């Protein structure tokens, strides 16, 4: 576009004509850059507006409970005593476990799909994995409740308890609906994001890098591990952060399987609660002002938690990835 306009300008017989063309082009590029900028400002506006709206909606709760809201474990709609700690705990713990599991499975499957799988198989498997991302979360939730929860209660839970029962995370009564089940459902939901992005990143690596590694005598495994992976680390971290964001905010699926009890227990076999779940559960029937306000403040906290987590992820990239 630019080149064509320039050559047209050069070929133009009269200077005036060239000037109008050049100014037309300037206007075009101004509009273009403006549109680019505008779409970014739009996001800023939306996030800013969201934060402002949440703070405004939460003002009653902020005023009543102050900073203590963050570490109070009370959640009593009858006496209107509200605190956020069990929800923050449940949200962070389930999401972190999900992220760790999903990152391991996701990155490994992506390497296989991009580097080792026969081409056709890779294409089909990739399609299947992407399909997982399109399954509605209520379907995951119901499947989790009716299939995964009994599985955890009768097989996975007892198995883990036998093997690792000495750890506090795997002690106590095994409920079907618990933090572990929620984490497993979340894993399933965020794996496709990590796998799909990582696979695309690996595919985009120029062939010569692999050829060079092989020429130096590296095995395919060494090539994948020492050449391919390091060159896409930054992108993988980005994929993980995106996936983590989804896990933090996931509502219905976790609500179905986490047990919805606002307590903090070390054991993953005990029920827990997440911020998004309590909002989904109680918002529709919360009629008093303070109750509503406390739920909105939870939304604000979720926004802040996400911000901190994403910030930390970025920081880690800066510190550890060159």
Which positions touch other proteins (CB under 8 A)? 74-79, 115-119, 122, 145-146, 149-150, 153, 173, 175-177, 207, 210-211, 214, 220, 223, 252, 255-256, 259-262, 271, 277, 280-287
For the chain, the farthest-separated pair of C-alpha atoms sits apart, in whole angstroms, at 88
DSSP E strands, the chain: 75-76, 81-82
Which residue, 45 or 138, is less far from other proteins as judged by CB?
138
| Burial per residue of 157-185, b for 16 or more beta-carbon CB atoms within 10 angstroms, e otherwise | beebbeeeeeeebbbbebbbbbbbbbbbb
Which residue, 111 or 240, is less far from other proteins as judged by CB?
111
> Per residue, what are the HEC states of 178-205?
CHHHHHHHHHHHHHHHHHHHHHHHHHCC
Which residue, 92 or 151, is less far from other proteins as judged by CB?
151
Q: How far apart are CA 305 and CA 88, in angstroms?
A: 8
Q: Closest distance between other proteins and the C-beta of residue 122, in Å?
A: 8
User: What's the length of the chain?
Assistant: 322
- Judge contact between 106 and 129, C-beta under 8 A: no
Q: Closest distance between other proteins and the C-beta of residue 280, in Å?
A: 8
Which residue, 21 or 264, is less far from other proteins as judged by CB?
264
Q: Closest distance between other proteins and the C-beta of residue 256, in Å?
A: 6
- Judge contact between 165 and 171, C-beta under 8 A: yes
Q: Closest distance between other proteins and the C-beta of residue 17, in Å?
A: 41
* Count of C-beta atoms within a 10 Å radius of residue 33: 10
Q: Closest distance between other proteins and the C-beta of residue 194, in Å?
A: 21
Q: Closest distance between other proteins and the C-beta of residue 315, in Å?
A: 34
Which residue, 6 or 214, is less far from other proteins as judged by CB?
214
Q: How far apart are CA 121 and CA 111, in angstroms?
A: 14
Q: Closest distance between other proteins and the C-beta of residue 167, in Å?
A: 21
Which residue, 159 or 220, is less far from other proteins as judged by CB?
220
Q: Are strands 75-76 and 81-82 parallel, antiparallel or unpaired?
A: antiparallel
The end-to-end CA distance of the chain, in Å, is 36
Q: How far apart are CA 187 and CA 244, in angstroms?
A: 10
Q: Closest distance between other proteins and the C-beta of residue 322, in Å?
A: 25
Which residue, 106 or 141, is less far from other proteins as judged by CB?
141
Which residue, 7 or 288, is less far from other proteins as judged by CB?
288
Q: How far apart are CA 77 and CA 31, in angstroms?
A: 53
């Amino acid at each position: 576009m630019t080149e064509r306009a320039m050559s047209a300008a050069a070929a133009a017989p009269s200077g005036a004509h060239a000037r109008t063309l050049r100014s037309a082009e300037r206007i075009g590029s101004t509009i273009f850059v403006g549109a680019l900028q505008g779409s970014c400002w739009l996001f800023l506006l939306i996030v800013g507006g969201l934060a402002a709206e949440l703070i405004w909606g939460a003002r009653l709760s902020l005023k009543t409970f102050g900073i203590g809201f963050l570490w109070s474990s009370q959640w009593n709609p009858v006496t209107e005593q509200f605190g956020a700690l069990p929800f923050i705990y449940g949200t962070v713990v389930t999401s972190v476990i999900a992220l760790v599991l999903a990152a391991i499975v996701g990155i490994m499957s992506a390497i296989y799909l991009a580097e080792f799988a026969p081409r056709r198989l890779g294409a089909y498997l990739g399609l299947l994995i992407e399909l997982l991302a399109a399954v509605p979360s209520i379907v995951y939730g119901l499947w989790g409740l009716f299939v995964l929860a009994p599985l955890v209660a009768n097989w996975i839970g007892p198995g883990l308890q036998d093997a690792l029962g000495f750890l506090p995370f795997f002690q106590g009564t095994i409920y079907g609906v618990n933090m572990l089940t929620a984490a497993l459902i979340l894993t399933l939901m965020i794996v496709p994001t990590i796998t799909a992005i990582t696979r695309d990143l690996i595919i985009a690596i120029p062939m010569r890098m692999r050829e060079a590694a092989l020429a130096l005598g590296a095995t395919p495994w060494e090539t994948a591990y020492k050449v391919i992976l390091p060159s896409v680390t930054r992108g993988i971290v980005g994929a993980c952060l995106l996936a983590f964001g989804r896990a933090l905010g996931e509502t219905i699926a976790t609500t179905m399987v986490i047990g919805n009890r606002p307590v903090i227990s070390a054991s993953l076999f005990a029920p827990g609660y997440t911020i998004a779940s309590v909002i989904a559960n109680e918002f529709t029937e919360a009629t008093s002002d303070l109750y509503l306000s406390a739920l909105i403040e939870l939304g604000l906290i979720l926004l802040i938690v996400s911000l901190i987590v994403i910030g930390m992820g970025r920081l880690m990239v800066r510190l550890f990835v060159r």
